[in-house]
Every structure is written in structure tokens, then in C-alpha cells.
């Protein structure tokens, strides 16, 4: 990448909540993959505010941000690419519980024993956060091979049986497709 992403170009946030060599992950409710908590930045909200809000909404935890790890870009993501600010954080309050229905399960995983169902592009984000990286900007290529125009439409196609959930999980986790 030749230019730094401005905050106004960001589409979302992820937060690596770290504790004693572990990272908090959520198992998504609409697709059986693990990921970091996070989501879209609301109008008028800073990336930092969005990060704190998203963690609270999805996990019930209050967090203190320890720094912006960087920006991770997937230009091929539909509909208009994905530019996500990733933050390292630590829990300072609240109670771990699935709050908004996006998480089927929540749990801390050892950094050396992340689940096979972790979306592959979050592995680099977690490694960078755990290593104390700050201010990086990384491209994370993703081949969008679906007719759906967005992630939401893709999930709806899975729900209708038009797209194989197993194939989608394989694509998102970097595992080989079966059959």
C-alpha cells in the first residue's frame, strides 16, 4: 500500500482483547466461524469509540484500549472493500456474556491454540496485537467468489440453501473445501 488509510475511509473495527497469553474470540451465530469482536463504525463515531461500543455490545465487557494495532485492508470484500482498524485492549469491567445475538459463544483462547474455525485474516491481526505492533497497515487479500453482493446477502444465501455453509466456512477459515 502506498498511502495510509484515513479514519474517514475506515469501514469497521476489530478488537483483540488480550489476557494472560489468551485472546477473546466469538463464535458467530449466523455462521460457525470464530472471530474477533468488532463491527461497523457509526456516523459521528471515532474508531476508538466504535471499538469500545462493539466489544460491550457483543461480549458484555468494558475494555480499555491499549493502542491501535493498525489498519487491515481487503479490497476484494463486497460491496466496497473492507478497511478495518484493529485495536489491542484489556477487559476492565462488565461480565462476559453474549449480548446482541451476534455471538453464539464467547471464550478466551491461548494464542498458541487458536481454533481451526477462526477466520484466517484474523490470525495476522491477533499475532500483531499480541506482539505489541502499532500503526501497521496490511493488505489481506480475499477471493470473493460468490454471486452475493455483500456478506449479509451471502449469509442469507446460506440460510436459503443456495450456498453451502461448509464451503463458506472452508473459504473463511482457509481450510480445504470438502467434496
Cell of 3: 498511502
Asked, for residue 156, whether it belongs to a domain, the answer is: no
- The domain containing residue 109 runs over which residues? 7-144
Q: Is the pLDDT of residue 175 over 90?
A: no
C-beta of residue 84 within 8 angstroms of C-beta of residue 109: no
Query: Which one, of 33, 39, 32, lies nearest residue 56 by Cα?
Result: 39
Q: What was the pLDDT predicted at 14?
A: 98
CATH number of the CATH domain containing 126: 3.90.79.10
Asked, for residue 170, whether it belongs to a domain, the answer is: no
Asked, for residue 166, whether it belongs to a domain, the answer is: no
Asked, for residue 178, whether it belongs to a domain, the answer is: no
Q: 109-164 pLDDT, tens per residue?
A: 999 999 999 999 999 999 999 999 999 999 998 888 888 888 889 999 999 999 99
Q: Is the pLDDT of residue 43 over 60?
A: yes
Asked, for residue 32, whether it belongs to a domain, the answer is: yes
Q: 50-90 pLDDT, tens per residue?
A: 999 999 999 999 999 999 999 999 888 877 778 999 999 99
Report pTM.
Answer: 0.93
Asked, for residue 151, whether it belongs to a domain, the answer is: no
Number of domains in the chain: 1
Amino acid at each position: 500500500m502506498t498511502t495510509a488509510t484515513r479514519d474517514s475511509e475506515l469501514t469497521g473495527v476489530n478488537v483483540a482483547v488480550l489476557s494472560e497469553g489468551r485472546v477473546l474470540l466469538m463464535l458467530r451465530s449466523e455462521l460457525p466461524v470464530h472471530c474477533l469482536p468488532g463491527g461497523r463504525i457509526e456516523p459521528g463515531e471515532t474508531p476508538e469509540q466504535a471499538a469500545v461500543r462493539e466489544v460491550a455490545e457483543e461480549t458484555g465487557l468494558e475494555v480499555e484500549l491499549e493502542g491501535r494495532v493498525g489498519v487491515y485492508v481487503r479490497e476484494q470484500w463486497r460491496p466496497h472493500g473492507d478497511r478495518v482498524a484493529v485495536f489491542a485492549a484489556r477487559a476492565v469491567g462488565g461480565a462476559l456474556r453474549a449480548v446482541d445475538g451476534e455471538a453464539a459463544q464467547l471464550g478466551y483462547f491461548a494464542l498458541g491454540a487458536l481454533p481451526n474455525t477462526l477466520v484466517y485474516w484474523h490470525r495476522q491481526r491477533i499475532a500483531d496485537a499480541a506482539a505489541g505492533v502499532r500503526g501497521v497497515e496490511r493488505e489481506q487479500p480475499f477471493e470473493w467468489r460468490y454471486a452475493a453482493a455483500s456478506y449479509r446477502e451471502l449469509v442469507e444465501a446460506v440460510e436459503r440453501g443456495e450456498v453451502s455453509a461448509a464451503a463458506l466456512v472452508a473459504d473463511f477459515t482457509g481450510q480445504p473445501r470438502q467434496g
